């Protein structure tokens, strides 16, 4: 996997807002996942967050130690079933507003941590 400037191999989030993100210099419109070191569109099943929306992080070929979940402009906690599934799988789940999630992801990725992100656009 190619390494970024921090040496972690994880793509940095350069900017966010205007309905999307700039990740490793590439614009991504709408909700976005960063999993297994790559950014891709996040197709959700509906308006409310469901376990199926995040299952990729539990099945990923390189399961992250932690998922940073950016839930939009305001903090809204996911259902208990999602938190339980992550706890049972041994994957940390940190839920925060998208702005804080982007900063936290970049910090952890820069430290070389095994982190992934699921980000709702603002």
Strand partners, 40: 33
pLDDT, residue 6, reads 46
- The answer to whether 67 and 92 are in contact (CB under 8 A) is yes
Q: Could you give the domains of the chain?
A: 13-119 (3.40.1230.10)
Answer yes or no: is pLDDT of 1 > 80.
no
Q: pLDDT confidence of 96, banded at 50, 70, 90? A: very high
Answer yes or no: is pLDDT of 108 > 90.
yes
Q: How many CB atoms lie within 10 A of CB 42?
A: 20
Structure tokens at 114: 């095994």
Average pLDDT over every residue of 89-113: 97
pLDDT, residue 61, reads 75
Q: What is the spatial distance between Cα 46 and Cα 2, in angstroms, rounded to a whole number?
A: 34
Q: What are 49-76's pLDDT values in tens digits?
A: 999 999 999 986 778 999 999 999 999 9
CA-nearest of 18, 29, 116 to 64 is: 116
């Amino acid at each position: 996997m190619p390494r970024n400037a921090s040496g972690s191999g994880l793509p940095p989030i350069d900017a966010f807002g205007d309905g999307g993100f700039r990740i490793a210099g590439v614009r991504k419109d709408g909700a976005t996942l960063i999993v297994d070191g790559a950014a891709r569109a996040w197709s959700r099943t509906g308006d409310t967050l469901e376990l199926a929306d995040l299952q990729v992080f539990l099945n990923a070929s390189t399961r992250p130690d932690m998922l940073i979940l950016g839930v939009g402009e305001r903090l809204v906690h996911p259902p208990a079933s999602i938190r339980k599934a992550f706890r049972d799988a041994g994957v940390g789940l940190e839920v925060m507003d998208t702005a804080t999630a982007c900063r936290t992801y970049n910090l952890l990725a820069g430290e070389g941590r095994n982190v992934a992100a699921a980000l709702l656009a603002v």
